[in-house]
A and B are shown apart, each in its own frame.
Chain A
Amino acid sequence: MQTTASSSLSAAQQTASVRMPGPARHYGRALYLTINIAILVFLLAPIAIVVVFALNPTPFIQFPPVGVSLRWFEKFFASRDFMHALWFSLEVAVLTTASATILGASAALALARGNLPGTRLIVATMLSPLMLPAILTGLALFQTYVLLDVGRPTWGLVAGHTLVTLPYVVRTTLAVLHNFDTRLEEAAQNLGASPLRTFFELTLPLIKPGVLAGAIFAFIVSFDQFPVSLFLVSPGNETLPVTLFNYLKFDLDGTIGAASVVSIVLAFVVVIGLDRTVGLRSYVKL
C-alpha cells in the first residue's frame, strides 16, 4: 500500500493516542530516570563536597565534617589577592567572550556561506587550539611575546584566551548554520528584502541562540582557563585559577572551597541571566 510519509505519520499518531502503556514501558521509564538521576549525582557530588569543605572549619581534608563555619568565606573576601583575582578573571572572561563571539561567529558565517576554498581544512585549523596541550600554547605565546618585546600585557592574556575559546563559538555557530533552512532566506528575498536586510532581520536573529551557546562556552572556559594563564599572567594581575593553584601548593584549606562556591554562584547568575533574556532552549530546537 502506497502512503506518503505524512499520512503514515498521522496514522501512527492516531494509533498512538489509543495505545495503552504496558508494564515494560513503566520499567523502561523507571530505568531511564534512575540512570539519569545517578548521573546527576555523579556530576554534583564533587560540588557538594566543595560546599561542605567551604563550610568545614578544619584546615585540611576531613570527612565527616566537624561543623559549619563561614571563616573561609571571610578569609576569601578579606584577601586582596583573591578579590583582585576574581575581578580580573571576570574582566578577562568578558573581554574574551566578546572577542571570541565576534570573531568566531563571523568566521563561522564566512565558512558556512562564503564559499571559501578548502573550507573543511580551515574548520579543522580553527578547531586545532583545542587539540594542543594548553601548557605548550601558553609557553609558545609567552615566548612570542618576549620575541615581540611586549611583556605580559592584559591584551596578550585576552588574546590567548580568545584563541582557546574561539573554537567553541565556531562549532556552535556552524552547527546552527548547517541546520538553517535557506528557503527562509529565499522567501524573504522573494518578498522583496535586500540581502543585507535579510541577513540582519532574519538570519542573525535565527542563529543567535547558537552564537550565544558558544558565547557561554567561551565565558566558562575563559573563567576557568589555567594552563595558558599560568604563563601569561603578570604579578599583581593573576586570574583566579592561577591564584587558587598557587594557594593550593601552600595552604590546602577551605578558602579554595569558598572561592569556588563564589565562582559558581557568579557564573550561574550570568548563565541564568542569559537563559532568561535570550532563551537557550531555542538553540536546542533549531
Chain B
Amino acid sequence: MMKALGPLSRRRFLTASASLGIGTIAAPYVARADDPTLRITGWGGKWGEVMKAEIGPAFESEFKCKLQTDSAFPYLPKLQASSRSAPIYDVLHTNSNEQWAAAEMGLVEPKIDPKLVPNLADVYPYAISDKIVGVSIFTSAIGLGMRTDKGYSGVTSWKELWDAKYNGVRGGYVIPVNSLGQAFLMMCGTLFGKGQTDLDAAYTALEKLKPIKIVDFTGAMEKMLLSGEVGMCVIHDSGIYRYDGQNQPTDFVSPSEGVLSLEQVLTITPGSKMKELANAYVNYMLRPEVQKRLAETVWYSPANKKVKLDAKYDAKLLTTPEKVSKLIQVDWKWYNERKDEIDQRVNRIFRA
C-alpha cells in the first residue's frame, strides 16, 4: 500500500517542504512589509536589556511598528558610508561629540522640531542648548571615581588626580576615541590655563598625568575600578552608581571646579523615510514614565523636568534646576574642527 502511494506522497512531500521552505524564507519579508521599521542605534549592557525587554516592545505595540536596534558600535562610519537618501539609521543615539561630527557632515538634522516633538517643552535648558545638536534625552556627570578602601580622603578637586600617590592606579581614557577623555582634555585647559580652548595648558597638564592606565570605553574603566586595578579615575556618575546595592568600595566625587556633561543625544537623519515615526520615538523617549524607568535602570539623569525619581536616585542624580545648572557643556564644534591635530599630539603624549 505504501508503494502505491510512494511516488505521489513523495512528490507531495517535496512540494510541501518546498513551499514551507519558501514560506519560511519569505515570511520575514512578508512580516516586514506590514510593519514599518524604525532603525535606531542603542547601547548594549543594561540599557540594551531594558530597551529590548520593556521600552522597545511598548513602543512597538503603541505605534504598530518594528524597532531595529544596531548596537555594534561604532555607528558613525556606517552611517557615513551609507547614502544620504537611504541612510541606514532613522534615529541616531550617541554622545554629543559624535552628533556634532555627524551634523557637520550633514548626516543628521541639527535641530529637532518642537511641533513634532512636544515633550521638548519640558526639558531642561541644557538638553537643547546651543552646545547640543538634536536633543539630549539623558545626561551624566563626569567627575572622579575612587576606591573607598584605600584611605584616600579629602578628595574635592580635579587636581587631586595629579597627586603622585595615585601613580600606578590612575585611570583615564583614550582621548582620540572617547568623549569623556575629550571633555576631560578641555577641562584641563580650564583647570590649568585660560579655559576650555587653552590647548597648550591642556597638553602640559596631560604630560604630567603620566603614569596613567587608559582605556577606550567606560565599561572597561568601571571594571578596572572594581577590581582594584585603578584607584582614582575620570568616570561618569552612572559608572559608579549603577553598582549600587552591591556593596562595592567605590564612590563618585563631584569636583569643586564643576562636573562635565556626558549627554545621550538623539538626532534624526535627513534622508529617513520614517520621519513621523522617528519624531514619535524621540518624543516617546522624553516621556516621564520612560525617562524614569531608564534613569533608574542605568542611573542617568533625565532631561525631562517633570520626571519624579525614587528617593535614592533623586539624591544622587541631577534632578533639579540648580543641580543641572552646574553642568559644564563643552564646545564640540570647536573641538571637532581641531580633532586631527589634537589626536596627533595626544597620541604622542600617551605613547608607551
Let me know if chains A and B touch directly in the complex, using CB atoms closer than 8 Å: yes
Inter-chain contacts of A247 with B (CB < 8 A): 44-45
27 sampled A-B residue pairs with Cβ under 8 A? A59-B226, A60-B223, A60-B226, A60-B227, A61-B223, A139-B77, A139-B81, A142-B78, A142-B81, A146-B81, A146-B83, A233-B72, A234-B70, A235-B39, A235-B68, A235-B70, A235-B71, A236-B68, A238-B72, A246-B71, A249-B44, A249-B45, A249-B219, A250-B43, A250-B44, A251-B45, A252-B220
Q: Name the residue on B nearest A238 (C-beta).
A: B72
Tell me, in angstroms, the Cα distance from A231 to B229 when the chains sit together.
32
Given contacts A61-B223, A247-B44, A249-B44, contact A143 B81 (CB under 8 A): yes
Q: Of residues B46, B71, B73, B82, which shows the largest number of chain A Cβ atoms within 10 Å of its Cβ? A: B71
Q: Name the residue on B nearest A147 (C-beta).
A: B83
Number of interface residues of B (CB under 8 A): 26
Tell me, in angstroms, the Cα distance from A59 to B223 when the chains sit together.
9
Q: A60-B223, A235-B68, A235-B71 are in contact. List 9 more A-B contacts (CB 8 A).
A: A61-B227, A62-B227, A149-B86, A246-B44, A246-B73, A249-B73, A249-B217, A250-B44, A251-B45
- Min CB distance B171 to A, Å, is 14
Chain A positions near chain B (C-beta within 8 angstroms)? 59-62, 139, 142-143, 146, 149, 230-231, 233-236, 238, 242, 246-252
Inter-chain contacts of B167 with A (CB < 8 A): none
Interface string of B172-209 (1 = CB under 8 A from A): 00000000000000000000000000000000000000
Q: Name the residue on A nearest B216 (C-beta).
A: A249
Inter-chain contacts of A149 with B (CB < 8 A): 83, 86
Chain B positions near chain A (C-beta within 8 angstroms)? 39, 43-48, 68-73, 77-78, 81-83, 86, 217, 219-220, 223, 226-227, 229
Given contacts A60-B227, A146-B81, contact A251 B68 (CB under 8 A): no
Inter-chain contacts of A248 with B (CB < 8 A): 219
Taking a contact as CB atoms under 8 Å apart, the answer to whether B219 and A250 are in contact is: yes
Tell me, in angstroms, the Cα distance from A251 to B218 when the chains sit together.
10
Tell me, in angstroms, the Cα distance from A284 to B126 when the chains sit together.
68
Tell me, in angstroms, the Cα distance from A236 to B48 when the chains sit together.
13
Q: Name the residue on A nearest B41 (C-beta).
A: A235
Given contacts A139-B77, A139-B81, contact A251 B219 (CB under 8 A): yes
- Min CB distance B149 to A, Å, is 15
Q: Name the residue on B nearest A250 (C-beta).
A: B45
Taking a contact as CB atoms under 8 Å apart, the answer to whether A230 and B72 are in contact is: yes
Taking a contact as CB atoms under 8 Å apart, the answer to whether B220 and A246 are in contact is: no
Inter-chain contacts of A146 with B (CB < 8 A): 81-83
Taking a contact as CB atoms under 8 Å apart, the answer to whether A252 and B223 are in contact is: yes
Inter-chain contacts of A238 with B (CB < 8 A): 72
- Min CB distance A247 to B, Å, is 6
Inter-chain contacts of A246 with B (CB < 8 A): 44, 71-73
Q: Which of B46, B68, B70 contacts A250 (CB 8 A)?
A: B46
Tell me, in angstroms, the Cα distance from A248 to B45 when the chains sit together.
9
Q: Name the residue on A nearest B42 (C-beta).
A: A235
- Min CB distance A238 to B, Å, is 7
Tell me, in angstroms, the Cα distance from A236 to B39 when the chains sit together.
11
Taking a contact as CB atoms under 8 Å apart, the answer to whether B72 and A242 are in contact is: yes
- Min CB distance A227 to B, Å, is 12
